Structure 1
């Protein structure tokens, strides 16, 4: 079976992507070492954990040395921001959000390009609606996602043997979403948000699209009818 590496796979959307890819792919489940990641690997027969801190670039480089061929790389790991105005956002937050959401994805991609080229593989970037429109108090997060879109676009032009897909979901029903809604001071209503299973299905659709087509972008918006 083809092999897929999914970052941020221990819970939420990453775990759901893993579950939906498991029937057709051998999985490398990326994430910090945790019982959640170990339990998911146990549930998904044949899955292997890829337990690294993505911003520890020496550790990442060592971890990918044994990967000689990779069919699918799904960049799902990411962090949110504190929803402050630009005037109130400290420089440390800019560094953290851009480091995790952009720089770490770029470096993991760079290190895995030989393996992806060998398989004529597919890279999927889980972006965000914030990667297409920047709203007040979302500047660091939106900036990281706009930049992630630029990374995907440049990579697509540079690597003609690879397929590169950006997925732009609206807000998703996850633990991180609950935290954001709490910061916003609203009551949490999961029906307002996309289901993880819906977004994961879009990723699987992109990955399994016939080789004669290149799914470059997928945009999903919640309807509120979930």
Structure 2
């Protein structure tokens, strides 16, 4: 059982990039917290599992399967007896195609991961988050409010997450739900944008992302990752429902000046 002075947190998309930065921060700087880490591959999380056997539990699975969400919550509760936060950090950019070139099935696959996977884990978690007056933190994107050629399914799915946070702030007053825009971060997704998906994007957008990498303009995963981690532990209720940039003034107390 987890004691009252520690948090039990479920983190999806935990194996790389922002998710890895969140997990590492919570385990190395806030030493009492317990993490249920969800990713498609167990092997990607084995190091953390072996390094922190009493504080890390791992569940491998594709969150497009809504059954994984219930398993994650059940595992956290059975292991530590409570749940204080969920961090929804998983997503897929694909398909990267113009709307005219996509199929409805491709949109469905995107939403199965980005939208329905998020909704399923929040639904499973809500009874426990009500008990702890816990938090749901959603990793969103600037694409939720700005159009990029070829990113229709991704941007639309992130817009849904923003509205989900807004809806939950009204429906679940005991749970603090925040959607965070992490900025342009040096992650595997950014590499895929530059190297794999560029043919489906506009020349202007490709030039933007190539230039950011070349000129050192990409954020480190730790910058938004540490903010998201801290929000999961102690975000105040007055932020519930908001869509905020990771470096927004409203989040100043959560920002790490060392990054």
Q: Distance in 2 between matches of 1:41 and 1:190?
A: 36
Give the C-alpha shift of residue 190 in structure 1. Answer: 7.2
Q: Which residue of 2 aligns with 1:65?
A: 74
Q: Distance in 1 between matches of 2:146 and 2:176?
A: 24
Stretches of structure 2 lacking an aligned partner (at least 5 in a row): 1-5, 200-205, 248-258
Give the C-alpha shift of residue 137 in structure 1. Answer: 1.9
Map of 1:160-171 to 2, 5 A cutoff?
160-171=173-184
Q: Which residue of 1 aligns with 2:151?
A: 138
Aligned length: 222
Give the C-alpha shift of residue 208 in structure 1. Answer: 4.3
The change in CA–CA distance for 1:191 and 1:85 in structure 2 (over 3 A counts) is: same
In the alignment, which of 226, 243, 251 is matched to residue 201 of structure 1?
226
Quick check: 109-118 or 132-141, which moved more?
A: 132-141
The answer to whether structure 1 residue 11 and structure 2 residue 11 are counterparts is: no
Normalised to the residue count of structure 1, the TM-score between the two structures is: 0.88
Once the two structures are superposed, residues 51-104 of structure 1 have per-residue CA deviations (whole angstroms, 9 ceiling, x without a partner) of: 233222234324433525211100001100243211112222211111100011
Query: 8 Å contact 1:15–1:40 — kept in the other structure?
Result: no
Once the two structures are superposed, residues 166-224 of structure 1 have per-residue CA deviations (whole angstroms, 9 ceiling, x without a partner) of: 10122211111101111226544372222100011221342344646436332147xxx
In the alignment, which of 113, 123, 128 is matched to residue 115 of structure 1?
128
The answer to whether structure 1 residue 184 and structure 2 residue 192 are counterparts is: no
The answer to whether structure 1 residue 174 and structure 2 residue 187 are counterparts is: yes
Normalised to the residue count of structure 2, the TM-score between the two structures is: 0.78
Which has the larger helix fraction? 2
* SS in structure 1 of the partner of residue 181 of structure 2: strand
Quick check: 181-190 or 3-12, which moved more?
A: 181-190
Q: Distance in 2 between matches of 1:205 and 1:165?
A: 12
Q: Distance in 2 between matches of 1:208 and 1:108?
A: 18
Stretches of structure 1 lacking an aligned partner (at least 5 in a row): none
